[in-house]
Structure 1
Amino acid sequence: MNHQARRIGFASLLTGLVSLLLLFLSGCQQQDNASPGAAVPARTSITALIWAPDWPEEMLQIAAEFSKLNPDVRVDVQFMIGNSVEENIKPRIASGNLPDLVSVNPNAYAAELADQGILADVSTTSAWNNMLSPLKGDWTSRQSRRFGISGGVATTLIYYNKALFARAGIKELPTNFHEFLMVCEQLKLAGFTPIMWSGGFPNMLGNGPFSFGFANNVVAREPAWKQKIGDGTLDLNTPEVADIFASIALMPQRGYVQDAFMATDYDEGIRLFKDGKVAMAFHGSWAAGHLLHGNPFEVGVFIPPWNAPGKRVVPVIGSETGFAVCDTPHKAAAMRFLEFIAGKGFSILQRKRQNIPPFKQGAGTLASDQRMIDYTNMVSRYPVTASPYYSVLPSNSIEQLHRLMQDVLTGTITPAQAARRLDASVKNEAKMHYK
């Protein structure tokens, strides 16, 4: 009787265990068949359209670090191509295919986008509050919308190979354009190519010799230059502006630049300097990490002496290309990403770029080369300074300028013709948009 009862009890227990096992497997099957959204929180996907010609890996790392800390947001990074930020943005606006976060320049075009409601106001972010006060005016529209965060303090300068200068017997740095040409001639006679000219990437010609030519030939003579560009009253059809283009063309005419300079792009220009094939590079502070480090020679820097003898040089300094948020359905997530770029993510950029940060306080240790700090502090104390060309000219005139510089370099047009066409472009933009 007891033995029979034990057998019945064991059978009942076994039946119960089998039922539990079937119930468990049924639950697992139901879970497997459930929709992914039921098990995993929904993620917001944002698009970031970025201008990063020399730091794409760092931008991808920033996006990955952000998504790791913000698992509810996925960042799709897309990189701009071509010669300017504006030529990448315009087709996206025309087609209504806005990114959520975008690289922008601190110029009238971006400010107009802000006043049209395309770029969101970032004034409530900690990134805006932490940005250096002198830079905030660059990022404020006519309707007082704060439309972006600077990527750095931007200035252009000449990097030079101290070993080649010494071998050429150059003991003093040039302080005006006449002395600069003499230095170039001395380097050429010693068998060295004096300077890199990026004919294939006119963006750098704009940031370098055009910006400094404009600073010393226009800004030095006209204190109200910025207002007059805006209202269309600045006369650029002048011998002084023609001289800006003539100086750009003069370098290859005298044999002071590398062979095939019209095909030299951004990366190739940097390699030429780092390989010791050119003695100087007229480049931006944003390339300091590339140009100052990892070379078999010591590198120095000096202010491009685009001033006439007896005149004080006008340096170029302002805001670098920065970041803005578009007014899209994912604006809140994009704002979080903007805060990360300007916070923890900024140190990732600085480890490579070593530019001057645009912030009062950095998140962690920000690497900045002391030579760049000293240079920036020096030029910021000058009584008259000018802005980089991308924050000076209207967007369509920027694209026009690129073609004009290349046409002057190939001899298709004269410097005087280039000045006349640039003048017409700037005045036409003022008539159409800024009155």
Structure 2
Amino acid sequence: MNIRRIPILLYVLVLLALVLSACAPASTTPPPTGVVETVVVEKEKVVTPTAAPEGPVTISFWHAYNADVEAKFLEQTIIPAFEAQHPNIKVQAVLVPYDQFRRKLLIALSGGTAPDVARVDIIWVPELADQGALAKLDETMTDFETLKDQMLPGPLSTNFFQGHYYGLPLDTNTRVLVYNKAMFAAAGIEKPPATVDEFLAACEKIKQLGEGKYCFADGGTYAWAVNPWIWSFGGDITDPQITKASGYVNSPETAAAYQFLKDGVDNGYIHPGIKGGGVDAWGGFAKDEIAMLLEGPWFPPLFGSQFPDKDYGLALMPAGKGGSISVVGGEDIVIFQQSQHKEAAAEFVRFMLSEETQLKWVETGQMPVLKSAGDSEVIKNHPFFGIFLEQLKTAKARTPHPAWARMEEKLTNTGQAILAGEGTVQENLDRLATDLDALLASSQ
């Protein structure tokens, strides 16, 4: 299909490092950082495409799977299986290193050479959709509603923007509570805390173990770290329509979550590294200095390879007024508006989201996004995916909005000010609400 385009204007300005979807193996940190660039574009205008050409077509699939395991699995197992089922469609896989991905993608969009389909970070979807770069899958795919209903709601929500779905979840992750069995036994704690009140009771017992013993540790006040507490306390960052922060980020519930974190630091329950000084959380956990962490599905294999003899347990996020709610990470699969082979690209999306393919990816450590996956023998027999899929039933995504990078910078700085005692919790959150309202208004 031939598509006529108006070129995209691209202005690139390197601004800041952005927290993304996985944590560094040596400590509790946000997802990997990449370069974030402010982009000003003209939204793409597309005319009705002509009929698809006869014969085989080739679609390009850009991704940032790791080269050693995931990319090889894609090229040696997944793509051959797809092409065997669809002999008229060939897939050209293009591995783009994560730290270069966003920049190369924006340049390709500017030059009219975007891929047909891509695996992108969940926080990029609103920005790309706002630029007019992505196809609306709820209009492009006739079976979209059927596919949509099969997805876990948290990962699915990362694809919704201004009334349309611009992608579907491809793989996912979340954070659950990891607890140190040796420290629990020494403190006389019989089971992991199921509620915030039980968490605080456990912290008081851990504190009695002596100086240098901490109940909990995390790497900072970015959304990946604080949002699970905000949501579990019943608070939020914005209204559901993402039009205002006032009344939400400065609500009594959100304030209670920040007060909880500040009290935890002041009382010696939470390692002071959360104030921005850094913490070797995994090392401290292994040496029985830290009793609890929030970690993702990368923790068991990576921590186990470093500390094979350390015993630990996994449990759900402690529940508060809002329930047990953690944060969603992962990647989405999208089709680009520039693609001349949208039907073929849609077939590849369907294949990647089939239960058979989703469960194949489990052997590489990728978590499936289908509701049905939890009932499969593959997951039931998996050593640790079950607890993460259970947490994903209630997990939420960080605010899906084009201005999110700037919003999170202000959120992080506000958290640091609160923990440092620079003004009251409410004063800081009221200022944050005003700042976020301005960002939301300017992006509408």
SS at match of 2:96: strand
Unaligned runs of 5+ in 2: 1-55, 84-88
Structure 1 contact 194–280 (Cα < 8 Å) conserved = yes
Alignment partner of 1:324 out of 334, 345, 349: 334
Computed over aligned residues only, the root mean square deviation of the Cα atoms, in angstroms, reads: 4.8
Aligned residues: 368
Per the alignment, residue 70 of structure 2 pairs with 59
Alignment partner of 2:93 out of 71, 75, 78: 75
Structure 2 contact 175–297 (Cα < 8 Å) conserved = yes
Whole-angstrom CA distance in 2 between matches of 1:282 and 1:420: 28
Structure 1 contact 156–208 (Cα < 8 Å) conserved = no
Unaligned runs of 5+ in 1: 1-41
Whole-angstrom CA distance in 2 between matches of 1:331 and 1:286: 35
SS at match of 2:433: helix
Judging by fraction of residues, say which structure has more helix: 1
Per the alignment, residue 228 of structure 2 pairs with 211
Per the alignment, residue 300 of structure 1 pairs with 313
Q: How does 1:54-133 map to 2 (within 5 A)?
A: 57-65=68-76, 66=78, 72-81=90-99, 100-105=117-122, 110-111=125-126, 113-114=128-129, 117-123=132-138, 124=141, 129-130=146-147, 132=150
Per-residue deviation at 1:360? 3.6
Whole-angstrom CA distance in 1 between matches of 2:289 and 2:379: 28
Per the alignment, residue 389 of structure 1 pairs with 398
TM-score after normalising by structure 2: 0.63
TM-score after normalising by structure 1: 0.64
SS at match of 2:396: coil
- Cα distance 1:176–1:159, how it changes in 2: closer, same or farther (>3 A)? same
Whole-angstrom CA distance in 2 between matches of 1:163 and 1:258: 18
Whole-angstrom CA distance in 2 between matches of 1:252 and 1:88: 38
Structure 2 contact 172–366 (Cα < 8 Å) conserved = no
Per the alignment, residue 240 of structure 2 pairs with 226
Structure 1 contact 177–306 (Cα < 8 Å) conserved = yes
Structure 2 contact 178–293 (Cα < 8 Å) conserved = yes
Q: Deviations over 1:1-35 (max 9, x none)?
A: xxxxxxxxxxxxxxxxxxxxxxxxxxxxxxxxxxx
Judging by fraction of residues, say which structure has more strand: 2
- Cα distance 1:336–1:418, how it changes in 2: closer, same or farther (>3 A)? farther
> Are 1:401 and 2:416 an aligned pair?
no
Q: How does 1:20-419 map to 2 (within 5 A)?
A: 46=60, 48-50=62-64, 57-65=68-76, 66=78, 72-81=90-99, 100-105=117-122, 110-111=125-126, 113-114=128-129, 117-123=132-138, 124=141, 129-130=146-147, 132=150, 135=153, 138=157, 141=160, 145-152=164-171, 154-191=173-210, 192-199=213-220, 205-218=222-235, 225-227=239-241, 229-230=242-243, 234-258=247-271, 262=276, 264=278, 269-270=281-282, 273=285, 278-284=290-296, 287=299, 290=302, 295-305=308-318, 307=320, 311=321, 313-316=323-326, 320-329=330-339, 332=342, 335=346, 338-339=349-350, 341-343=352-354, 346-347=358-359, 349-353=361-365, 355=367, 357-358=369-370, 360=372, 366-367=378-379, 369=382, 372-373=385-386, 376-377=389-390, 380=393, 387-391=396-400, 395=404, 396-409=406-419, 415-419=425-429
Q: Deviations over 1:57-109 (max 9, x none)?
A: 44323443355565954322224349xx9x8799669966856514242x7x7
Whole-angstrom CA distance in 1 between matches of 2:105 and 2:266: 36
Whole-angstrom CA distance in 2 between matches of 1:154 and 1:314: 16
Amino acid in the other structure paired with 1:397? M
Q: Deviations over 1:147-177 (max 9, x none)?
A: 2222456543211122321122112443443
SS at match of 1:218: coil
Bigger mean CA offset, 348-357 vs 209-218: 348-357
